[in-house]
Amino acid sequence: MKGSKFLHFILFASIPLLFINDLYRHNTLLEKRLWDFGHLPLFMALAFASLPYLTQAIGLSKNKKLTVLKYFGSIVVLGMVIEIVQWVTGRNASFSDLRKDTLGALLIYLCFYFRDIKSRPIRWVSWVVALLWLGFESQPVTEAAIDRWRMNASMPVLADFETQAELTRWNGGRFQRAEMERDFPSESISDYSPNTINHALMVSFHTDGYSGIVGDGLHSDWRGFKALKMDINNPSAAFLKLNIKIEDRVSMGKDRSYQNRYNGMYTLQPGDNEVRISLDAVSNAPHSRVIDLGDVARLSLFFNNAPQKGHIYIDNVTLLEVD
């Protein structure tokens, strides 16, 4: 009885979390994926909490299967209503969340009413489908966890774009992973065999307003390093002005003013460029405080009213122990 009351309390306390806007805007990709995945255990708990009422209803019903389907359908409808309310209140309605809601209820009902399915093939097919479905819904979390491990293992390299999964650390404009015919001059020849294909991030830009990318899924702890370095290739014949913005969690809070973050402008000459930024300059950029290098939230690279359309290649975004 106490356990049932506690479960009901947890479910009731979880309701506001479904409607709080931008609750995890500045969290890591893994934290976001785990939060999204939380719909599944939440609706498993909801389905579990409904079992006493369902058992009572079955005892009063002549059609057990229909009663179970009604309860299951009610939970699915509740998930749909939640998504509609989220959309009305400014959050995004998500079919992915509804899928996880449905799967959570399905897993619980299969566990408790599995033996009531008389046909053995249907019983096992139901479980196989449910488990495959669970694997599908778990894939984003698994990929984010693997990428987090790779990210930690690759430090002090923040990004070298040698895996497709790295693209999940970036968002904003138009970008894609591209093969490079050669390595950047700063890369050690000993790091590559003749058969190695080097990759970089190709970022497109346009002439109207701002265009670029935001790295908001990079490793956030830059303490103990002196500089940030990146290789950038400008394939055009024009000199380009690249803006670089670095923000910590505080910069992303209430005061998002220009003076509360690092802002730099760098000239990209035609061909290869090595951009190097002192982390002391980053740390001391705000007027009234110090940027927390142990909690860096975003690295933005963008153009403002570029003189022409085009693209650049970015590679080897690395933290250095020397300036």
| Contact assessment for residue 242 and residue 275, using Cβ atoms and an 8 Å cutoff | yes
CATH number of this structure's domain 158-320:
2.60.120.260
Q: Which amino acid is at 29?
A: L
The pTM score is: 0.72
Integer Cα distance of 110 and 76 in angstroms: 15
User: What is the rounded average pLDDT for all residues in the chain?
Assistant: 84
**80 phi/psi in degrees, rounded to 5:** -65, -40
Mean pLDDT of 265-289: 92
Q: pLDDT class for 57, splitting at 50, 70, 90?
A: confident
- In tens, the pLDDT along 18-37 reads 656 555 555 677 888 888 89
Give, to the nearest 10 degrees, the angle between helix 120-154 and helix 95-113. 130
pLDDT of residue 182: 61
Q: Where does the chain hold its CATH 2.60.120.260 domain(s)? A: 158-320
The DSSP code for 239 is: -
Across 97-113, b (16+ Cβ under 10 Å) vs e yields bbbbbbbbbbbbbbeeb
Supply the pLDDT for residue 21.
56
Handedness of CA 184, 307, 251, 88 (dihedral sign): negative
pLDDT band at residue 273 using 50, 70 and 90 as cut-offs: very high
